[in-house]
Amino acid sequence: MKVERLISIIMILLDKKRIGAQELADQFEVSPRTIYRDIDSLNMAGIPIRSTPGVNGGFEIMEQYKVDKKVFSKGDLSTLLLSLSSLSNMVQGEELTNALAKVKSFIPADSARDIEVKANQIHIDLSPWMGNRNIQTYLEILKKALQENKLSSFTYANQQGKTTERTIEPYQLVLKGNHWYVQGYCCKRKDFRLFKLSRLSNLHVQNETFTPREYQKPQLEIYDIFETLQIEITLRIHRSVMDIVLDHCSFDHFSPDGEEHYIVLFPFIENDFYYNILFSFGDKCECLEPAHVREEMKRRIHDIAALYKN
């Protein structure tokens, strides 16, 4: 978000003597052109930043400059408080606490109540209702490993439950689809891998440090893959499971079928994961078509029933 990036640039310039556009661009994962636009925006806001050309050039701010509290609007401060507060609910640490304190120091006394109300209009709590409670602990352990460039070791279970011992160079924590992952260079596979935190056990940080290598960002967008694999199936569901089905498709895929049921056009990929989603709806869901998916459901139901014959 631009506002967060602007305040971060201010803090960096106040902390450093001089820094180049490319270094800032790399730090925020944007183009140098975006950084130049940000610097122009800060100058227009009254923050005196000068640019020095040459090999050792870059941006710098006047040594005696103090950030005027009026630089940030109520909306800017509310957005920053919302973002930092929501993140601190899951990833704790001294840096976040200090960042929150710095942002709060910009709030004028006569606007404090109004800004607090706006910041509390959205609450993001990433901690689970139940289930794997190791996630919070593992986030703290990996955050420390990231900061100190230390190798991390753990036991990892794949989708079939097979476990292997892994040691990685951690590079990034990723939140995707309500699940946390760590992206790292796997010493076993000799390549970058994305590891789901809920599948980790026996996580510990080694004393051995590593020299960061050229980082490969994880591939997080798979819409192109989905478009080639995904089909649409027709389900008849009871209204009691509508809330769960809505986690997987939007309400415009629903059409009423009497007073108790809905017909749903459901996005589906023919693999174990998606068949298990259908089974999670229990006897409140029936696959109507296509015929081959319906037959596969019947086969799997038969196999499940066979487990309970004796």
Per-residue pLDDT of the chain (310 residues; tens, 9 = 90+): 466 677 777 777 766 667 888 888 887 878 888 888 888 887 776 777 888 877 778 888 766 655 555 556 666 666 666 666 655 555 555 555 556 666 666 666 666 677 666 666 666 666 666 555 678 788 889 988 988 999 999 999 887 788 999 999 999 888 876 788 899 999 999 999 999 988 899 999 999 999 988 877 776 655 555 667 889 999 999 999 999 999 888 888 999 999 999 999 999 999 898 999 999 999 999 999 999 999 999 999 999 999 998 7
Residue type, 116: E
The domains of the chain are located at 2-67, 74-119, 134-209, 224-307
**Calpha distance 304→118 (Å, rounded):** 52
Options 3.30.10, 2.30.30, 2.40.160, 2.60.40; CATH for 134-209 is 2.30.30
Task: Outline where 73-222 has alpha helix (H).
Answer: 74-88, 94-105, 112-119, 134-148
Q: Tell the CATH topology of 2-67.
A: Arc Repressor Mutant, subunit A (1.10.10)
Element (DSSP H or E) covering residue 78: helix 74-88
Handedness of CA 217, 220, 221, 222 (dihedral sign): positive
- Cα gap 27→20, rounded to integer Å: 11
pLDDT given for residue 100 in this prediction: 61
Helix (H) or strand (E) run with residue 203 in it: strand 200-209
pTM: 0.52
